[in-house]
Structure 1
Amino acid sequence: MDRLPLELPSSLRQEFKSPFGPVYTDVTQFLTDAGRPIIAVGDIVTYHLQTVDYTPAVAVIDGQTKRESVDETVKAALSKHNKRIDVENQPGTISIALLEALQTAVETPESVMIVVDGEEDLATLPAVLVARPGGTVVYGQPDQGMVRIAVTPETKITMSRLLKRMDGDAAAAFDRLGVDRSGDKK
């Protein structure tokens, strides 16, 4: 198993309860408002994008929603991605493999699906850090909808600050992502 550079401390969990951006229940409206490219974190969010024939530049999935396996319809729809990267990432952590996969995926011209063995819930933080300014990271907020994070210098700083507060080697995480501590590309 990969060495885990970062782990979410219990003292930081509350900061992830509220959405980091506007919440959408209408996929079409989300796509109208979202900058490109789009990085989707979560099976259901990715599935909803695909139901309107939109494939995100990067999708990060783990085969689960609300700690339960996604249904067969969702699994089947998500299995049709061309390029796939498989990684391990334990719950409540951000692994080196996940960081490297995100960094590789955003530099790949075709759409990439990162399939996580474990949990992808915290992938939103590094996704914002590696995303192109003007782009969007979207993730699911349980029982509410899709959360749109516009990738701006401000959102990169917010995610960078959260990442620094996690237990583990934040400097190694920034290095693996190819960004400095403010979230800017090196």
Structure 2
Amino acid sequence: MLELPETLRVELKDPLGEIYTDPDALLAAVDEHAETTATADASPPPRLLTVGDVVTATLADAGRQPDIAVIDGRTEREPVDPAVEATLADLAGRRLLVTNPPATISESLLTTLREAAIGTEYPVTISVDGEEDLAALPAILALPDGASVVYGQPGEGMVHVPVRPAVRTTARELLADFDGDTDAAISLFD
């Protein structure tokens, strides 16, 4: 398990991508990024992974269920409102449950993200018993170039992180600064 050190908390408050408030504009950016690396694979890789209940529900309500969603039933440490909960309950696809305590990235979360990202059956919803706030970093490592990670930025909107080598390097560097066996965690995605 990786633990978030106090020294890294401030750095992680900076968004890793552009912030959107309009879901349609965000989804257009996701599609544009995916088109730059599209292949003719019979089963295309996941293109959209969301971290957070409100972000996931917002995009689902806008007509686009994520290929992989990571949710925990909370927003800003409070239970989600009934409308968000109803949207999340209606998500199609497989549901996986992991345990991930606050301010950590558990082995269970890491391996489930990896398996979901290399799988072929989408959509997948990963329900976290605990907290999903840090899942964006390993998600960036798990997904192929051309995919997008979208997470919530409290009080500002939705952050779109187009997965490409430079952002993957940033995610690796941030994870390397966590407490715990960072080499083993990062090697899961090599």
The TM-score, its normalising length taken from structure 1, stands at: 0.91
Question: Residue by residue, what CA displacement relative to the aligned partner does 1:7-48 show, whole Å, maximum 9, x if unpaired?
Answer: 000011011111111100000000111134011000000000
Query: Any idea what the Cα deviations from partners look like across 1:50-109, whole Å, max 9, x if unmatched?
Result: 011101111000000011000111111111232011000000000000001101111222
Indicate the residue corresponding to 1:182 in structure 2: none
- State yes or no: 1:108 paired with 2:104: no
Question: How far apart, CA to CA, are the structure 1 residues paired with 2:173 and 2:157?
Answer: 25
Structure 2 distance, partners of 1:47, 1:19, is 20
Q: Distance in 1 between matches of 2:11 and 2:136?
A: 13
Within 5 Å, give how 1:69-84 maps onto structure 2. Answer: 69-81=79-91, 82-84=93-95
Match of 2:172 among 154, 157, 160: 160
Moved over 6 A (4+): none
Question: Could you say which residue in structure 1 is the equivalent of 2:138?
Answer: 126
- Counterpart in 2 of 1:21? 17
Unaligned runs of 5+ residues in structure 2 are 35-46
Aligned pairs for 1:1-186 within 5 A: 5-34=1-30, 35-36=33-34, 37-81=47-91, 82-109=93-120, 110-175=122-187, 177-179=188-190
What one-letter code is carried by the residue in structure 2 that aligns with 1:156?
R
Tell me, what secondary structure is at the counterpart of 2:59? helix
Following the alignment from structure 2 to structure 1, what is the Cα–Cα distance between the partners of residues 18 and 88? 25
Q: Name the % identity.
A: 46
TM superposition shift of 1:137: 0.4
Q: Give 5+ residue unaligned stretches, structure 1.
A: 180-186
The TM-score normalised by the length of structure 2 is 0.89
Within 1, Cα distance between the matches of 2:180 and 2:151?
24
Are 2:103 and 2:134, in contact at CA under 8 Å, matched by a contact in 1?
yes
Amino acid at match of 2:50: A
Deviation at residue 178 of structure 1 after TM alignment: 3.0
What is the Cα-based RMSD across aligned positions, in Å?
0.9
Alpha-carbon separation, structure 2, partners of 1:100 and 1:62: 17
CA drift at 1:138 = 0.4
